[in-house]
Amino acid sequence: MRLDTLRPSNLHPSKLRAALLRWFPPHRIATALRAALAAMAAWLVGNLLPGDVAQYSYAAPLGAFVATGTSFFSIARAALQQSVALAIGAALGLALFSVEMPGLLKIGIIAAVAVLLPGAAALGTSASVVPVAALLVIMFGSVDPDGYAAAYVGEFTIGLIVGVLVNALARPPIWDAHARKALLDQVEGLADRVETLAELLRGDWPPEREDWADWGPVLEAGVERLDRDLQDARESRRLNPRTLWHREDVTPDAEVAALRAIVHRTIDVLDTASGAAWAVPIEVRLDAEARPLVADALQGLSGHLRAWASGKDVADASAASEEAIRALAEHVATHDRPDPGLGTIIFALRAIRERIGRVTEEE
């Protein structure tokens, strides 16, 4: 958080609330509360275990903390991976403890394992637990290494189980609505950019504003984020008891694929316009008569994108977009040797419109 946002002159209630929401969104607060509840429950359960095992009850809250995440499936998977990794680490520590060799060499072996194990996809990020567990057994299990390893692994595993159960009972989130909103936000954002480009084409040429020529990577990054949001939404439903009464449809793959293709074609349009303005990436020509027609076609596509996002007046927006693209194509047809750049734009606009049409028909 920037320090200047905390100055008294800037601490307007609305600004302060917005800053707090950025750093502490509701889902993060809910996750923190689940982690706190799981850690406390694990501590209580760990202290109830018989014999000397209760001496290592501090490991139970650690396990519960690990078993906290944004989806029940990811939590359960992480818990299983952590348990396996911890058992492997304890076994490695016991094996090294029983072998007569210099301690320095044992440390080297553990370090080598720490580097090699992350390549095992089955353990995921939990592979880092293996060397930690091995070192703990060697360092603190000198009196009773077997007992220490069993007690520590047992307490940690109890904590993992408690964490999974708490997360299962404490309303684990489902991210369908978030993924859907992310998709529609991307579509709306793309519509804004297409409309901005249309306005630039109607103004002085080449335009003073230059940032639009670099929108390509930004648009591609947005689609990549959407892929991650969609994956999170799918995972949030797996093994999630809330799906029994919370039936929302995950954003269809077809819509994400359509947006990806539309972004690709939009970048073609951006590159062509940039080539007409500054000969970058290559020089093309958009004459003064063609630019307003291209702008009209882009304006029509912007409206078509907004109709997709809102689900309203889709047929009218589609017809308006088709008419504007047809007018541009007819203009090109009147020239014996039209510039290839216009052909690229027409193809891209028609492909974009077709993609939007497929998605909105399926809905």
Distance separating alpha carbons of residues 258 and 357, to the nearest angstrom: 10
Q: Which residues contact 134 (CB under 8 A, 6 or more apart)?
A: 89, 90, 92, 93, 96, 110, 113
Q: How high is the pLDDT of residue 6?
A: 46
pTM of the complete model: 0.71
Most confident region among 47-61, 105-119, 249-263, 312-326 by mean pLDDT: 312-326
pLDDT tens sequence across 81-101: 888 888 888 899 889 888 888
**CA-angle at 155, arms to 135 and 27, nearest 5°:** 100
Q: Are 28 and 6 in contact (CB under 8 A)?
A: no
Which domains does the chain show, CATH number per domain? 3-169 (no CATH), 178-362 (1.20.58)
Q: Are 182 and 105 in contact (CB under 8 A)?
A: no
Q: Are 72 and 168 in contact (CB under 8 A)?
A: yes
**CA-angle at 147, arms to 142 and 152, nearest 5°:** 95
Distance separating alpha carbons of residues 342 and 286, to the nearest angstrom: 7
Closest CA relative to residue 338, chosen from 260, 282, 284, 277: 284
Distance separating alpha carbons of residues 169 and 312, to the nearest angstrom: 39
DSSP type of residue 266: H
pLDDT tens sequence across 312-333: 999 999 999 999 999 999 998 8
Determine if the peptide bond prior to 25 is cis (ω within 30°): no
pLDDT tens sequence across 232-264: 888 777 777 677 666 655 567 889 999 999 999
Q: For residue 2, what pLDDT band results from cuts at 50, 70 and 90?
A: very low
